[in-house]
Amino acid sequence: MIDWLGVGGNALWILGLALVLAAWSYQRSRMSRRSASAAPDAGYIAVGAWARLGAILVCLGLAVSSTSTLERALWVLVALCVVAEGLSRRAGHHRELDADRAA
């Protein structure tokens, strides 16, 4: 019988890794074409969001694929840390935009 839970978990982390690698490759391509003096733009933030989504998928896929409860809990904890980091970056970016508008 096919272990569909294992297949789904492995598909999740493989998809997540593909997203992380695609975001990294796209960012390297953008940086090589951009001048050194140009400031980061919205594309940089979007690439970071795709990379974070990929990292979350990797963590969740590995949590589903793991056999130990402790290992599952740790992978979910890492995924939650990635989510928290993304939310704090987003809040920080909005504060910077508000400060720039006020100045």
- Identify how many contiguous H helices and E strands the chain contains and give both numbers: 3, 0
Region 44-60: mean pLDDT is 88
Q: Nearest-CA neighbor of 63 among 55, 54, 72?
A: 72
**Residue 45 — pLDDT band, cuts 50, 70, 90?**
low
Both tokens assigned to 86: 């993304």
Residues in the chain: 103
Give me the chain's average pLDDT, please: 84
pTM: 0.78
